[in-house]
Structure 1
Amino acid sequence: MSFNTLRRHFRESGKNLGRNGWMTFASISAVTVTLLLVGVFFVIMMNLNHIAGNIEKDVEIRVHVDSAATEQDQQLIGTKLEQIKEVDSVTFSPKEQELNNLIKDMGENGQAFELFEQDNPLRDVYVVKTKSPQDVIKVAKEAEGYNYVQSVKYGQGYVEKMFDVVNVARNIGIVLILGLLFTAMFLISNTIKITIVARRKEIEIMRLVGATNTFIRWPFFLEGLWLGVLGAFVPIAIIGGVYYYLFDFVNPKINIKFVELLQPSPFIYQIAAILLLLGGLIGVWGSLMSVRKFLKI
């Protein structure tokens, strides 16, 4: 395709949007409303996934070393833990550090534990992080079998339930997003189809004068692209503005360590890119599917 022909298609697609003002407005409105719903759902699901990821990252295994273990025994335990393929990192925390952490975490009430500094009842601990949160249970069970390991703690009972809840939430989110996208494609393609049907005589005339199917498709291809992209601007503006406000208002009030919203930058730009891409793809798909029936010989 020559540059002049491509330029002609761009020019014609722009003119056609202006000639069919009300139909253009209806198509863009359908894209806007649908992408606004899709965008809001993406924002919710991506933040929930972020929070779930933070919760999973916070899961760790604490291997308590028996007080009867020698320094060599302790080092052997650490070496064995590091050799487990599912383990990402192993950090040794002496009992003195454990007591200091306990005093710090208890705040004002921690002063009572300062009495144990001379006779510390706590145990040396290996803090283990796994490459995947789902490997925590497997690694913990293996560590329990080591000599001179007094106990292994990883939130048994609660961790399994948490993983189940997170997996169910993610699966439901994926299904709902796919369903919403399918609905969006159906609504937008049908709205665009009305525009194409209203111009069926134009397509028939172009066929009669010898225009090829490719030549006829290009303006509609571009019109669908413009409709989708233009329809994405308003959702991007609304979602971006509301999210910045909610982030500044809600995030400072959240006092839970692993519960925090995604930073507006680059999150909003990612959402904008997703909506522009979806709008363009859905617009193009709707136009091509609608015009195809008029190009059949």
Structure 2
Amino acid sequence: MKVNTVKRHFRESFKSLGRNSWMTLASVSAVTVTLLLVGVFALIMMNLNKVASDLENDVEIKVLIDETADEAAEKELLAKIKKLPEVEDITYSTREEELSDLVKDFGDDFKLFEQSNPLRNVVYVKASEPQQTASLAKTIDKYDFTYDVMYGEGKVEKLFKALNIGRNVGLVLILGLLFTAIFLISNTIRITIIARRDEIEIMKLVGASNSFVRIPFLLEGMWLGILGSIIPIAVVITLYYNIYKNVAPRLKGEFIQLLNFSPLVYQVSALLLLIGVLIGVWGSFMSVRKFLKI
């Protein structure tokens, strides 16, 4: 394609935006509203997914070692647990360390137990895949010198089930919102192009090729997507900046944390821009195609 032809296509796409200002405004408005919903919902779902992942990763198995186990037996038990393929990490804690943590968490009243410590040596086990926690706990429970194996039986399974349902529901909602965005934006662009069908038919009658007719409309759809994504991107950045600035300090040291401002907002912004451009180009392509068959 010649350079002059390319310049002509870009020039015509810009002119079309100005000549059809009301339809351009309608298309850009449709893109803006739908992408704004997508952007806000994406921020919410990505943070909820982080909370879900944090909850899953916080699940661990607490193995109480039998008091009859000597140092050699404990080392053998730790080695057997560490060799399990499902194990990501293990941490050994003595009964004295357990009591110290208890005093730190619940107060000096528990210092009374320092003279006669009723606690046991413990091994904390983290599964490489959180969903493997229950099966891993049952395997460890069969080993010698394990007094008890605790992982929140019953509650953990319900937690994982609830998190999976939440993720699936979120995925369905996002896909539904994206399909709604595609439908609304492409239909608005289609109406814009239908209003200019005479222009397309005339170009075809004077011998213009399909690509010569199509490219300016594709570029126009791309500009509509870019223009329509500007406000949603600005709103997403401003909204999340203020939320992160005010909420993140209050959650410092807490279990639940927000995703960092960067790179989250840049990822969401790039996603919105990409969606806007793709939908704009796709809507223009599908709309122009029916008028090229004359």
Task: Please indicate the TM-score interval, normalised by the length of the shorter structure.
Answer: over 0.9
Quick check: 1:55 aligned with 2:55? yes
| Cross-structure match for 1:70 | 70
| Cross-structure match for 1:104 | 104
**Unaligned 5+ runs, structure 2:** none
1:169-248 equivalences in 2 (<5 Å):
169-248=166-245
| Cross-structure match for 1:79 | 79
Deviation beyond 6 Å, 4+ runs, structure 1:
none
Quick check: 1:6 aligned with 2:6? yes
Deviations 1:24-63 (A, max 9, x none): 1110000000101111111111111011011111111111
| Cross-structure match for 1:138 | 135
Decide which of 257, 281, 284 is 2:281's aligned counterpart. Answer: 284
**For the residues of structure 1 that align with 2:239 and 2:180, how far apart are their CA atoms?**
24
**For the residues of structure 2 that align with 1:54 and 1:226, how far apart are their CA atoms?**
40
Aligned pairs, number: 294
Of the structure 1 ranges 206-215 and 230-239, higher mean CA displacement relative to structure 2 is found in: 206-215
SS, match of residue 126 in structure 1: strand
**For the residues of structure 2 that align with 1:32 and 1:199, how far apart are their CA atoms?**
23
1:3 maps to a residue whose letter is: V
SS, match of residue 90 in structure 1: strand
**For the residues of structure 2 that align with 1:4 and 1:103, how far apart are their CA atoms?**
79
SS, match of residue 222 in structure 1: helix
- CA displacement at 1:7 relative to structure 2: 2.3
SS, match of residue 152 in structure 1: strand
**For the residues of structure 1 that align with 2:292 and 2:3, how far apart are their CA atoms?**
24
| Cross-structure match for 1:263 | 260
Query: RMSD of aligned C-alpha atoms?
Result: 1.3
Of the structure 1 ranges 111-120 and 279-288, higher mean CA displacement relative to structure 2 is found in: 111-120
Deviations 1:247-278 (A, max 9, x none): 22223334783212111111111110110011
**For the residues of structure 2 that align with 1:63 and 1:81, how far apart are their CA atoms?**
10
TM-score by length of 1: 0.96
Give the fraction of aligned pairs with identical amino acids, expressed as a percent: 57
**For the residues of structure 1 that align with 2:26 and 2:100, how far apart are their CA atoms?**
65
SS, match of residue 151 in structure 1: strand
TM-score by length of 2: 0.97
1:15 maps to a residue whose letter is: K
2:46 maps to a residue whose letter is: M
SS, match of residue 225 in structure 2: helix
Of the structure 1 ranges 156-165 and 2-11, higher mean CA displacement relative to structure 2 is found in: 2-11
| Cross-structure match for 1:296 | 293
Deviations 1:128-177 (A, max 9, x none): 11111101011100000000000111111111111111001110111111
1:137 maps to a residue whose letter is: A
Decide which of 146, 167, 172 is 2:164's aligned counterpart. Answer: 167
SS, match of residue 295 in structure 1: coil
